[in-house]
Amino acid sequence: MPSYLPPLRDLEFVLHEMLDAGTAFKAMPAHADLDADTLQAVLAEAGRFCAEVIAPLNRVGDREGCRLDPASHQVTTPTGFADAYRQYVAGGWPSLSCDPDFGGQGLPVTINQALYEMLNSASQAWTMYPGLSHGAYDCLHAHGTAAQRALYLPKLVSGEWTGTMCLTESHCGTDLGLLRTRAEPLADGSWRLNGEKIFISAGEHDLAANIVHLVLARIADAPPGSRGISLFVVPKFLPGPDGTPDARNGIWCGGLEHKMGIHGNATCQMVLQDAIGTLVGEPNKGLAAMFVMMNAARLGVGAQSVGLSEVAYQNAAAYARERAQGRSLAGPAAPAQAADPILVHADVRRLLLSARAFAEGGRALLLWTALSIDRSLHAETAEERSEEAERVALLTPIVKAFLTDNGWIATSHCLQVLGGHGYIAEWGMEQFVRDARINMIYEGTNAVQALDLLGRKVLGDGGRRLGALMRELGAFLAECAGEPAMQEFTQPLGRLAERLGALTAAIGARARSEPEEVGAAAVDYLRICGHLVFAWLWARMARIALGRQTQGDPFYTAKLATARFYFARLLPEVEALFVQIEAGPATLAGMPAGLF
């Protein structure tokens, strides 16, 4: 059975040594009273909860899955899931970063992000239940009416109720403009909804007293396409006069999806038959409101993949230290034994270091992005809040796509370390691989993220957001110019930044005459941008490690070794990506459609 040790030392390093989060929080009036000891105490207790309560449920959830009673439409979650959720609520974890006006603790989003990484390492399937609730909270907090916020937010914040987002239909996934679910106005101001949704994570379960569904639907005479989508809040049970669950609403689970992974989460086919809901925001403006939840979910999916990369690495490294097979090519490393631990073999080290670099780099990117979210919410000046929000918008597709691609690679590499045992269920590694695969698909496939990054976030604004990021990167390179020990990191980073700037201009120029240029380049372009950000973060971490390696702490030795591995073995992937982009769309368009 896999084990899990919360990476508290690395979380502390990223938060306090790299990001200097304590100083950043003190500059925000909402968090000015926080100190590093308090934050570490919260994370330590969160790590204990994840390791002791949630992690033991991961294999249970995978083996048992969820069960649907067709008569009652009730879903039963795997053994222990509901009890763990009760402990989660009792511990106050759902309210960690929520608004105190609605019962939240008001801690930074950055700390909540660290919590969710650990929860996802422990069990991605279990974590999806409370994780989706946070997105529903964000959406209603931003766009709900005063009555909706007063009714739903305290319940979501406490964890008494959970939330979902109901977007996808059988004929429409990413292209939500095709959705058919309908909403009709009622005399009392509410709406009656009819339709069907699929792939609804946590759509039905036995963890909470009520489920708050955020549903996209069309009203009569709505404009065609995405301009005619409205958003509604549709609870499983209609709240009574005192706000407690009362009559069963006309929304239920019609079936459970049979999936490759995340078996412990109920992925539901939802039926709406005369379901009663209330409008969120303005008519036909629902997609903009739902994007609050969708963007939160995209960052959450990045955390899922970092969490899986971390736990897979931990277990693969432990196996490699113990498993004896073959001899080191340099001579026996353990001459008293019949064979050496497989950690002596070069390719085992390559696999492990790749997973470690992706996990630690991903953690740095997640927390850096989360700190920008905190600044976008709480910085003192409107200008700074706007700048940070622009950075978050630019980084969100990178977090979602780059980190989930890396999570798939990392978990697959870790399975490879275990060899045949990795393919056997009892070791738990093959579950990490299966669970990781969904992260590249849902909340907008990674190709959709790439089109968003290149088409909207870079070319769409004339490179303004990317330019701001590049200027900050340039300032870092200038700081390091007089540090000889940093040149092994800053020189390739500087070259990559310069090449990316030229590539962006070239793609923009070609796209003016070739409409398929952006589509052909986007996925490779996002991956180059991901490596640029990773290289920057790894250079920052290496700089700290260089300055502190004389302290004799092996943590800094390992950090520096991983940074050097990343620059030498993983960053060169960009060379092939540049070549692929330069090939243009011709090789993709050359095959006649009838020959596929």
Q: What is the pLDDT of residues 151-175, one digit of tens each?
A: 999 999 999 999 999 999 988 777 7
493, 539 contact by CB (below 8 A): yes
Contact 26, 32 (CB under 8 A): yes
Write down the residue that tokens 């970092």 correspond to: 306
With CA atoms as reference, report the closest residue to 395 among 379, 359, 371: 371
Kindly state the average pLDDT of the residues 450-478.
97
Give the burial class of 596: count Cβ atoms within 10 A of its Cβ; 0-12 exposed, 13-18 middle, 19 or more buried. Answer: exposed
How far is the C-alpha of 540 from the C-alpha of 534, rounded, in Å?
10
Give this prediction's pTM.
0.96
Instruction: With CA atoms as reference, report the closest residue to 371 among 96, 23, 3.
Output: 23
Please check the confidence at residue 176 and state whether its pLDDT lies above 80.
no
Q: Please state, in angstroms and as integers, the Cα–Cα distance from residue 43 to each residue in 21, 39, 555, following that order.
A: 14, 6, 19
pLDDT digits (tens, 9 = 90+) for 64-100: 999 999 999 999 999 999 999 999 999 999 999 999 9
DSSP of 489-546: HHHHHHHHHHHHHHHHHHHHHHHTT-TTHHHHHHHHHHHHHHHHHHHHHHHHHHHHHH
| Cross-strand pairs, 183 | 193, 219
pLDDT at 291: 85
| For residues 312-334, average pLDDT | 95
Amino acid found at 170: S
Task: Give per-residue pLDDT as tens, 538-573.
Answer: 999 999 999 998 888 999 999 999 999 999 999 999
pLDDT score recorded for residue 178? 83
566, 572, 573, 577 alpha-carbon torsion, rounded to 10°:
140
Q: What is the mean pLDDT of the chain?
A: 96
Question: What does the alpha-carbon distance between residue 511 and residue 509 come to, in Å, rounded to a whole number?
Answer: 5
Residue 177 has pLDDT above 80, yes or no: no
Instruction: Give kind and range of the element (H or E) at residue 263.
Output: none
For range 454-466, the mean pLDDT: 96
112: amino acid identity, one letter: N
- The secondary structure of residue 77, as a DSSP letter, is P
Paired strand residues for 245: 239
- Pairing, β 161-166 against β 210-219: parallel
Cβ(197)–Cβ(169) under 8 Å? yes
Which of 236, 232, 146 lies closest to 190 in space, CA to CA?
A: 232
The CA distance from 441 to 592, in Å, is 27
Report, as an integer, the average pLDDT of 300-306: 97
Burial of residue 384, with CB atoms counted within 10 A of its CB: 0-12 exposed, 13-18 middle, 19 or more buried: middle
Phi and psi based region of residue 65 (left: phi greater than 0; alpha: psi -120 to 50; beta: remaining): left
335's CB contacts (< 8 A; 6+ apart) are: none
The span from the CA of 574 to the CA of 365, in Å, is 18
The half-sphere exposure of 584 on its side-chain side, counting CA atoms within 13 A, is 11
Write the DSSP assignment of 390-439 as a string of letters. Answer: HHHHHHHHHHHHHHHHHHHHHHHHHHHHTGGGGGSGGGSHHHHHHHHHHT
Taking each helix axis from N to C terminus, what angle separates 382-417 and 464-480, rounded to the nearest 10 degrees? Answer: 80
Angstrom CA distances, 140 to 154, 197, 203, 290, 458, stand at 11, 20, 18, 9, 29
Pairing of strands 210-219, 182-185: parallel
pLDDT tens-place string over residues 118-146:
999 999 999 999 999 988 999 999 999 99
- Residue 443 known to be catalytic: yes
Q: Are 183 and 218 in contact (CB under 8 A)?
A: yes
Pairing type for strands 191-201 and 210-219 reads: unpaired
202: left (phi over 0), alpha (psi -120 to 50) or beta: left
Predicted confidence at residue 292, as pLDDT, reads 87
Kindly indicate the confidence band of residue 288, based on its pLDDT and cuts at 50, 70 and 90.
Answer: confident
18-65 tens-digit pLDDT: 999 999 999 999 999 998 889 999 999 999 999 999 999 999 999 999
**pLDDT tens for residues 325-380?**
999 999 999 999 999 999 999 999 999 999 999 999 999 999 999 999 999 999 98
Q: Which residue has the tokens 């909860």?
A: 49
DSSP string, 353-395: HHHHHHHHHHHHHHHHHHHHHHHHHH-SSHHHHHHHHHHHHHH
Which candidate in 390, 443, 573, 575 is catalytic? 443
Residues 6+ apart with CB under 8 A from 294: 135, 165, 167, 443, 444
- In this model, does residue 243 exceed pLDDT 80? yes
3-state secondary structure (DSSP) of residue 126: helix
CA distance linking residue 105 with residue 47, whole number of Å: 18
Assigned token pair, 580: 């692929």
Distance of CA 76 to the CA centre of its chain: 26
Residue 535 φ then ψ, to 5°: -60, -40
- Nearest Cα to Cα of residue 275 among 141, 166, 177, 152: 166
Q: How confident is the model at residue 210 (pLDDT cuts 50, 70, 90)?
A: very high
